[in-house]
């Protein structure tokens, strides 16, 4: 007899994961090493420790340890907003008339509104443990900055956020959330760093970019005693922390004896997707299970589906290490997609390698279709999803409709990374019927790819 699955599966506190999972340990072919941007040699823990906390530098480069204990302080913080629910989307299933069973792991039930907090608290913890005074970072739309502010306030650490100037001005509420948690928020480019002053001089009136904000944050960390720089995506340490999403998902499914047929996640820098699929990819790598893993990216920024697998810079300022990854080139400027969190030219090296090995497939979807899926979802499931998360919703609905045609009762699992409360400007465009799509031409992509750095590895 089938156990009736509740609308929301919550793990008990004692069922929550006590370790993060490092999927690299189960990969026979590892991701290519990350390179020092100056020497182009593989970076060492020592070199990385000049920018990042030492413990995080170690996590970044450790290819062989499969499980890392989650320190008790972090587990206690997790208990305030985790476990996140694995929701059975009964109402969506009914609306679609599909025999498929749809599940989503919802990461939006915390003030940062997204999964970013899972890594922010870890990074703040290791900085505190190292005896640092504070950390610096950049933020675009503001979710990562908010998450880091919350984490730092919990550990009573200083938090300096360089916020892309146009967001700083257009999203004053995001800024205020960070200030409420005690963070110091500076519009970037600012006059407080050399690079900021230089950019302001060269481009008077510029409204900034994420690349510039990263450069300012790195400079700020290096010019103050007791500070390090932290980053919310792309890095393998971040994927490690985000594995909590996939581990909880798997534990919740196991609790009710549900075997997922496919796992769908949206892909920007790859941290949420990587975290969600890691335990499932690990099973596949160990020959213990088989899943269809699907990365969904915006058609305006199609790094997996139309990019090249090559070494590239992670940031436009070229101060972070180089990674081998699926990329459109660090000079590629995505059109003003409303899913700001997915406007990244590259993809986590671990996700890239899993994709290259054929363990995962990728799809790109149009923004207008994504918002229609978002609204359809919101109206029956209640939650107003972030535009980023809605990329996964779109493909989950597509797959559920395929099941309707074939009559298959597949178990579809997707990651709902966050809420869209701060994205109402984009929803307004959709509601007014004036949202547009942008798909880059082959020429545009070829032009950006032509500028990839020449690295022989």
Residue tagged 């020092």 (tokens): 36
Q: Is 15 in the site for a copy of itself (CB under 8 A)?
A: no
Burial (Cβ within 10 Å: 0-12, 13-18, ≥19) of residue 454: exposed
Q: Is 12 in the site for a copy of itself (CB under 8 A)?
A: yes
Q: Which lies closer to a copy of itself via its Cβ, residue 382 or residue 407? A: 382
**What is the token pair recorded at 245?**
């999403």
**Residue 25 DSSP class:** G
Minimum gap (Å) between residue 10 Cβ and a copy of itself = 5
Which listed residue (135, 150, 347, 386) binds a copy of itself by CB under 8 A? 150
Of the candidate spans 23-31, 148-156, 317-325, 444-452, the one that interacts with a copy of itself by CB under 8 A turns out to be 148-156
Phi and psi at 209, nearest 5°, equal -155, 165
Which listed residue (162, 280, 313, 427) binds a copy of itself by CB under 8 A? 427
Of the candidate spans 240-248, 279-287, 374-382, 442-450, the one that interacts with a copy of itself by CB under 8 A turns out to be 374-382
Total residues contacting a copy of itself by CB under 8 A comes to: 46
Which listed residue (19, 41, 44, 431) binds a copy of itself by CB under 8 A? 431
Binding mask 168-197 toward a copy of itself (x if CB under 8 A, else -) reads ----xx--xx-xxxx---------------
- C-alpha closest to that of 88 among 172, 10, 193, 171: 10
**Residue 35 DSSP class:** B
Q: Is 8 in the site for a copy of itself (CB under 8 A)?
A: yes
Which listed residue (68, 154, 280, 332) binds a copy of itself by CB under 8 A? 154
Q: Residue 46, Cβ neighbours under 10 Å: how many?
A: 9
CB 273 within 8 A of CB 417: no
Binding mask 191-230 toward a copy of itself (x if CB under 8 A, else -) reads ----------------------------------------
Q: How far apart are CA 8 and CA 26, in angstroms?
A: 31
Q: Is 384 in the site for a copy of itself (CB under 8 A)?
A: yes
Helix/strand/coil percentages in the chain, nearest 5? 45, 15, 40
Burial (Cβ within 10 Å: 0-12, 13-18, ≥19) of residue 113: buried
The sign of the dihedral angle between the CA atoms of 113, 114, 115, 116 is negative
Which listed residue (381, 394, 396, 413) binds a copy of itself by CB under 8 A? 381
**What is the token pair recorded at 295?**
């990365």
Minimum gap (Å) between residue 339 Cβ and a copy of itself = 16
Of the candidate spans 76-84, 187-195, 234-242, 286-294, the one that interacts with a copy of itself by CB under 8 A turns out to be 76-84
Q: Which lies closer to a copy of itself via its Cβ, residue 178 or residue 245? A: 178
Of the candidate spans 105-113, 196-204, 206-214, 226-234, the one that interacts with a copy of itself by CB under 8 A turns out to be 105-113
Q: How far is CA 124 from the centre of its chain?
A: 17
Q: Which lies closer to a copy of itself via its Cβ, residue 76 or residue 194? A: 76
CB 143 within 8 A of CB 112: yes
Q: Is 7 in the site for a copy of itself (CB under 8 A)?
A: yes
Of the candidate spans 44-52, 97-105, 336-344, 421-429, the one that interacts with a copy of itself by CB under 8 A turns out to be 421-429
**What is the token pair recorded at 23?**
């999927």
Q: Is 90 in the site for a copy of itself (CB under 8 A)?
A: yes
Of the candidate spans 6-14, 43-51, 193-201, 442-450, the one that interacts with a copy of itself by CB under 8 A turns out to be 6-14
Cis? peptide before 83, omega within 30° of 0: yes
Phi and psi at 266, nearest 5°, equal -80, 150
Phi and psi at 163, nearest 5°, equal -110, 125
Q: How far apart are CA 362 and CA 403, in angstroms?
A: 19
- C-alpha closest to that of 341 among 425, 422, 426, 267: 267
Q: Which lies closer to a copy of itself via its Cβ, residue 150 or residue 304? A: 150
Helix (H, G, I), strand (E, B) or coil at 206: coil
- C-alpha closest to that of 127 among 45, 353, 119, 427: 119
Of the candidate spans 24-32, 126-134, 214-222, 380-388, the one that interacts with a copy of itself by CB under 8 A turns out to be 380-388
Minimum gap (Å) between residue 107 Cβ and a copy of itself = 12
Cis? peptide before 189, omega within 30° of 0: yes
Chain residues binding a copy of itself by CB under 8 A are: 6-8, 10, 12-13, 76-77, 79-81, 87, 90-91, 109-111, 113, 150, 153-154, 172-173, 176-177, 179-182, 375, 378-384, 419, 421-422, 424-425, 427-428, 430-431
């Amino acid at each position: 007899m089938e156990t009736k699955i509740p609308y929301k599966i919550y793990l008990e506190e004692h069922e929550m994961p006590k370790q993060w999972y490092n999927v690299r340990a189960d990969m026979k072919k590892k991701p290519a090493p990350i390179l020092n941007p100056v020497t182009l040699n593989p970076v060492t823990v020592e070199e990385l420790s000049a920018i990042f906390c030492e413990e995080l530098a170690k996590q970044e480069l450790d290819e062989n340890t499969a499980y890392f204990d989650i320190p008790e302080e972090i587990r206690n913080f997790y208990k305030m907003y985790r476990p996140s629910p694995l929701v059975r989307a009964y109402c969506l299933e009914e609306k679609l008339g599909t025999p498929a069973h749809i599940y989503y792991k919802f990461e939006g039930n915390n003030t940062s509104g997204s999964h970013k907090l899972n890594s922010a608290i870890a990074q703040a913890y290791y900085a505190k443990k190292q005896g640092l005074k504070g950390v610096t970072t950049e933020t675009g739309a503001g979710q990562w900055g908010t998450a880091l502010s919350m984490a730092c306030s919990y550990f009573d650490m200083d938090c300096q956020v360089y916020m892309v100037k146009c967001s700083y001005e257009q999203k004053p509420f995001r800024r205020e959330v960070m200030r409420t948690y005690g963070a110091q928020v500076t519009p970037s480019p600012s006059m407080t760093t050399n690079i900021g002053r230089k950019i302001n001089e060269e481009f008077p009136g510029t409204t900034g970019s994420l690349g510039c904000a990263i450069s300012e944050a790195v400079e700020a960390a290096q010019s103050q005693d007791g500070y390090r720089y932290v980053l919310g995506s792309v890095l393998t340490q971040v994927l490690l922390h985000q594995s909590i999403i996939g581990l909880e998902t798997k534990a919740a499914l196991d609790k009710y004896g549900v075997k997922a047929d496919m796992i769908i996640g949206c892909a920007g820098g790859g941290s949420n997707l990587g975290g969600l699929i890691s335990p499932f990819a690990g099973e596949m790598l160990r020959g213990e299970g088989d899943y269809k893993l699907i990365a969904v990216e915006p058609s305006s920024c199609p790094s997996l589906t139309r990019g090249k697998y090559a070494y590239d810079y992670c940031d436009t300022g070229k101060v972070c290490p180089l990674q081998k990854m699926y990329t459109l080139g660090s000079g590629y400027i995505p059109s003003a997609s409303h899913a700001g969190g997915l406007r990244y030219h590259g993809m986590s090296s671990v996700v890239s390698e899993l994709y290259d090995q054929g363990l995962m497939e990728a799809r790109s979807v149009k923004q207008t279709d994504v918002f229609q899926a978002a609204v359809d979802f919101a109206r029956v499931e209640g939650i107003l999803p972030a535009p980023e998360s809605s990329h996964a919703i779109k493909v989950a609905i597509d797959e559920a409709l395929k099941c309707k045609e074939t009559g298959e009762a597949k178990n579809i699992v997707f990651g709902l990374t966050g809420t869209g409360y701060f994205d109402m400007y984009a929803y307004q465009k959709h509601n007014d019927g004036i949202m547009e799509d942008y798909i880059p031409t082959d020429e545009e992509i070829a032009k950006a790819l032509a500028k990839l750095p020449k690295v022989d590895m």
